[in-house]
Amino acid sequence: MKTKPPLTVDGAPRAFFGRRSGKTLHARQQLLFDNLLPDLSIDLPEGGALDPDSLFPSGTGPLILEIGYGGGEHLARQAEENPDSRFIGCEVFTGGIGKLLEKIAGNDLGNIRLYADDALKLLQTLPDAVLDGVYLLYPDPWPKLRHHKRRFVSPTTLAELARVIKPGGFFRFASDIEDYANWTLAHILRHPDFDWVAGAPESWHVPYPGWQPTRYEQKARREGRLKSFYFSFTRHGPTP
């Protein structure tokens, strides 16, 4: 498989995220950045496909990707509750990476690997039908109309997700922004490779089984956004 160029706008690489850093890392986080992160970081190959098995030499369980894991609460909990599964987390914000590194070190989580750049670049180097599932939880909604092109959900990214998720695998999207939820659902319903079962009215406001609110969800509640949308889509086709 040839590596595809990053999605571009007017010839320049498009980023689906804003800032990369905020407050200075505290001493423990900086220590983990220097000593733990290099062992967990994913380096993309110069050409060809990334071999996920090379990232987890001692594991062959389900492979799950979380795009934009924020402070890492969900990703760390999933890794702890599912020790036989393998997890890849994508996040560019240094504060979030530092928080997750603390959770990995504190709970001795050996089944997580990290990619600290645009998730689309990672998707474009993954082999076909390699992921068992993908989470996109509370992504930046880019609310201004002129910024909608920076929303992660797009025909291009959905095409990549459809390619790398196994038939029968899942794509889960959560947001407290109704406009972005509608945007995502509209894109999914137009895509031939994903299925969505609507369920009973308002069922999309019911969290996933075993869900625990992330700090972004808690912030949304404090700011008066009392409902979130929890969509589960299935990659079309039989489970291999």
Domain C-terminal end among 117, 145, 163? 117
Domain interval for residue 162: 129-240
pLDDT at 17: 44
Q: Which of 139, 73, 138, 140 is nearest to 112 (CA)?
A: 73
Report which of residues 10 and 140 the model is more confident about.
140
Asked whether residue 154 is assigned to any structural domain, the reply reads yes
Q: Are residues 82 and 138 in the same domain?
A: no
Asked whether residue 178 is assigned to any structural domain, the reply reads yes
Q: Angle CA(210)–CA(202)–CA(179) in degrees, nearest 5?
A: 95
Asked whether residue 176 is assigned to any structural domain, the reply reads yes
Asked whether residue 158 is assigned to any structural domain, the reply reads yes
Q: Are residues 95 and 168 in the same domain?
A: no
Q: Are residues 146 and 86 in the same domain?
A: no
Asked whether residue 123 is assigned to any structural domain, the reply reads no
Q: Is pLDDT of 1 > 80?
A: no
- What is the rounded CA–CA span in Å between residue 18 and residue 139? 11
- What is the rounded CA–CA span in Å between residue 204 and residue 116? 30
Q: Are residues 137 and 33 in the same domain?
A: no
Asked whether residue 159 is assigned to any structural domain, the reply reads yes
Q: Which residues are catalytic?
A: 140
- What is the rounded CA–CA span in Å between residue 117 and residue 42? 10
pLDDT at 18: 45
Q: Are residues 138 and 238 in the same domain?
A: yes
Please compute the mean of the pLDDT values over residues 90-97 and round it to a whole number: 94
Asked whether residue 124 is assigned to any structural domain, the reply reads no
Mean pLDDT taken over the chain: 88
pLDDT at 144: 78
Q: Are residues 190 and 235 in the same domain?
A: yes
- For 14-32, the pLDDT digits (tens) are 454 444 555 678 899 999 9
Asked whether residue 46 is assigned to any structural domain, the reply reads no
Using the structure block, give the residue that is written with the tokens 């989470």: 135
pLDDT at 25: 81
* pTM attached to this predicted model: 0.88
Q: Are residues 179 and 232 in the same domain?
A: yes
Q: Are residues 111 and 135 in the same domain?
A: no
Q: Are residues 207 and 108 in the same domain?
A: no
> Judging by beta carbons within 10 Å of its beta carbon (0-12, 13-18, 19+), is residue 169 exposed, middle or buried?
buried
- For 156-214, the pLDDT digits (tens) are 999 999 999 999 999 999 999 999 999 999 999 999 999 998 888 899 999 999 999 88
Q: Are residues 102 and 162 in the same domain?
A: no
What CATH number corresponds to the domain at position 95? 3.40.50.150
Q: Are residues 134 and 239 in the same domain?
A: yes
Q: Are residues 234 and 143 in the same domain?
A: yes
For residue 84, which amino acid is it? D
Please count the structural domains in the chain: 2
Domain C-terminal end among 117, 138, 157? 117
